[in-house]
Amino acid sequence: MRILVLGGDGYLGWPTALHLSDRGHEVAVADNYARRAYDHEMGVQSLVPIEPMQVRLEAWRQVSGKTIKSYYGDLVDGDFTVEMIRDFRPDTIVHFAEQRAAPYSMIDRRHAVYTQQNNVVGNLNVLFAIQEVDPDIHLVKLGTMGEYGTPNIDIEEGWLEVTHKGRTDRVLYPKKPGSFYHLSKVHDSHNIEFACRIWGLRATDLNQGVVYGQETPQTALDTRLATRFDYDAIFGTVLNRFVIQAVLGHPLTVYGTGGQTRGLIDIRDTVECIRLASENPAEPGEFRVFNQITESFSVEEIAKVVANSFEGEVSVEHLDNPRVEQQEHYYNVVHTGLVELGLEPHLLSNTLIESLFGVADKYKDRVDLAAMLPTVKWRSASSPMRTEA
Ligand SMILES: O=c1ccn([C@@H]2O[C@H](COP(=O)(O)OP(=O)(O)O[C@H]3O[C@H](CS(=O)(=O)O)[C@@H](O)[C@H](O)[C@H]3O)[C@@H](O)[C@H]2O)c(=O)[nH]1
C-alpha cells in the first residue's frame, strides 16, 4: 500500500513510518517540525537525542535498503495539503500531525487557540483534500481516549446504542474531555464522521490511551533512528516520566490522590495497531472507531509498578493536582476491535520497564530538573511559562 504518515517526525509518527516501511509499504512522511519548535519554546529537549529528518531517512535507507519520501509543510495550509496528497496519491493517510499535549493547550488563551486552530483546521484540510483527490483514500486518524473522559458507564468503541422514551438509535458516544487539546480531538471526530456521512469517505478514528516506551524493533536498529522520549511536565507522559524520575532519584509526581485511571499502550503496539487499521480499511462511508489501549491502570498503580521494578529507593510525592479531573471513578473500556484484527498486546511488564530504566540512565545527564514539576494549572486561565516563572 502507499501510506502517507502526517506528523511523521513525532514520538509515534516516526516509529510508525518505519514499521510500515519495514512491512513493505510505500511510505511517505510529512511534517512541519512544530514538535521540535515546542522544545525550543519550552526550553527543553528529548531525553534521547534525535536526528534531523534527512539523517533519519538516510539511516533507514542504509539499514533497510528502503526509501521513505518526505514532505515539509503545514496542514493548516490547505493548498499544500491537497498538492501533497495529489502528488503522493496514498491509499491510506495516517494522521498524527496535531499538537498533542493537554498541558500545552492549557497554558493560556494563545496556546488553547493555537491547539484548536492547528488541529481542527489541519484535519479539515485533510478531509477536503481526500474528497478532492480521491474519496476512496482511507483516513486513519489518531484520536484519544481522553475524548470520552471518565463516564460512569462502560466506554464503547465510538458509538452507543441508546434507547430513549421507547425509541432506539445508534449515536456517537457522548464526550466529556478534560482539556482544550482533548476537545480538539472531539471536534475532529465530529468533522470526520460528518465527512463520512456526506461524502462517503472511509475513516478509522483510533482513540489511543497514554503511550509508554521508547523503542520499536526498527528504531533500535541504529541510534540515528531513535524516536524522542519526553520527561518534562508538559509533553512527558505519566509512565515515561515516572521511569525517568525513579532513575534520577526524584520523587514520582503523582497528581492528587492518584486514583485517576487511564488506558495505556506500549509503543510497539501503537505502531502495530496503525498497520492493522491501515491494512484492514473501513468501508466507504464508514466512520469506524477503535479504542487503542491494552490495559487500564490508576496513576497510583503506575507509580507502584515503576517503584517495584526499580532496584533502588523510590519515593512517591502526591502533588496538588494541577488538572481538573475526577480522581476516583468508574472506568471500564471496551477495546476488542483491534484484537479482532489481530493485535497481540505487549502487556506492561518488568522487562519493558527495566529496558526503559536503561534508556533513562544512559541519557540522565540531559535532564533539566526545573522542567519536571507541573506549572500549568487548569483552574487558571493563564499559567506562567517556565521562562516567565
Ligand atoms: O507526572 C504526572 C503526569 C501525569 N499524571 C496524571 O496522569 C494522567 C495521564 O497524564 P499524561 O500527561 O500521561 O497524559 P495526557 O495528558 O492525558 O495525554 C497523553 O495521553 C493522551 C491519551 S489519554 O490520556 O487521553 O487517554 C494523549 O491523547 C495525549 O496526546 C498524551 O500526551 C493524568 O491523570 C495526570 O493527572 C500524574 O499524576 N503525574
**What pLDDT sits at residue 384?**
81
3-state secondary structure 214-278: CCCCCHHHCHHHCCCCCCCCCCCCHHHHHHHHHHHCCCEEEECCCCCEEEEEEHHHHHHHHHHHH
Q: Are the C-beta atoms of 318 and 258 separated by less than 8 Å?
A: yes
313 C-alpha vs ligand 1 centroid, how far in Å?
24
Strands 92-95 and 138-144: parallel
- Judged against a pLDDT cut of 60, whether residue 345 lies above it is answered with yes
Span from the CA of 69 to the centroid of ligand 1 (angstroms)? 32
101 CA: nearest ligand 1 atom: 32
Domains and CATH numbers, the chain: 2-372 (3.40.50.720)
- Rounded distance from Cα 102 to ligand 1 centre (Å): 8
The verdict on the CB of residue 302 being under 6 Å from ligand 1 is no
Q: Higher model confidence: residue 385 or residue 175? A: 175
What is the pLDDT confidence band of residue 385, given thresholds at 50, 70 and 90? confident
pLDDT of amino acid 109: 98
Ligand 1 mutation target, pool 100, 238, 324, 335, most atoms within 8 A of CB: 238
Contacts of 106 (CB under 8 A, 6+ apart): 112, 179, 180, 181, 323, 376, 377, 378, 383
- Atom in ligand 1 nearest the alpha carbon of residue 256: 38
Cβ(238) – ligand 1 distance below 6 Å: yes
Residue 240 CA: nearest ligand 1 atom is: 13
144 a catalytic residue: yes
Ligand 1 centre distance from Cα of residue 238 (Å) = 6
Segment 19-40, tens digit of pLDDT: 999 999 999 999 999 999 999 9
pLDDT of residue 388: 55
Residues 322-338 have a mean pLDDT of 98
Average pLDDT over residues 60-84: 98
- Residue 351: the pLDDT is 82
Catalytic residue among 38, 104, 181, 212: 181
Mean pLDDT calculated for residue range 181-203: 98
Exposure string of 253-262, with b = 16+ CB inside 10 Å and e = fewer, is bbbbebebbb
What was the pLDDT predicted at 386?
65
Q: Whose CA is nearest to atom 8 of ligand 1?
A: 238
168 is catalytic: no
Residue nearest to atom 19 of ligand 1 (CA): 210
pLDDT of residue 146: 98
Q: What is the mean pLDDT of residues 338-346?
A: 97
Atom of ligand 1 nearest to the CA of 145: 26
Protein residue with least CA distance to atom 14, ligand 1 = 237
Q: Find the 210 Cα to ligand 1 centroid distance in Å.
A: 6
Residue 206 pLDDT > 80: yes
- Give the whole-number percent of the chain exceeding pLDDT 70: 99
Catalytic residue, candidates 144, 150, 237, 375: 144
Point out the ligand 1 atom lying closest to the alpha carbon of residue 254: 38
Kindly tell me if the per-residue pLDDT of 140 is higher than 50.
yes
C-alpha span between 115 and 37 (Å, rounded): 14
pLDDT of amino acid 387: 58
Report yes or no on whether pTM surpasses 0.95: yes
At 274-300, the pLDDT tens digits run: 999 999 999 999 999 999 999 999 999
Length of the chain counted residue by residue: 389
Mean pLDDT of 307-321: 97
At 389 the pLDDT is 46
Would you say residue 165 has pLDDT above 80?
yes
User: 133 in ligand 1 pocket by Cβ < 6 Å?
Assistant: no
User: What is the CA(236)–ligand 1 centre distance, in A?
Assistant: 8
Give the mean model confidence (pLDDT) for residues 306-315: 96
Ligand 1 center from residue 260 Cα (angstroms): 10
Percentage, residues of the chain above pLDDT 90: 97
| Residue 92: active-site member | no
Mean pLDDT over the full length of the chain = 97
C-alpha grid cell for residue 363? Answer: 541519557
How far is residue 86 from each of residues 118, 129, 137, 311, 375, measured CA to CA in Å?
Answer: 22, 8, 11, 53, 43
Residue of 16, 185, 212, 375 marked active site: 185
Q: 210: closest CA among 119, 105, 288, 100?
A: 100
DSSP H helical ranges for the chain: 13-22, 34-42, 53-64, 78-88, 102-105, 109-116, 122-133, 180-199, 238-248, 267-279, 299-309, 337-340, 350-362
Residue 326 clears pLDDT 50, i.e. is over it: yes
323 lines ligand 1 (CB under 6 A): yes
Closest atom of ligand 1 to CA, residue 211: 20
216: CA distance to ligand 1 center in Å? 21
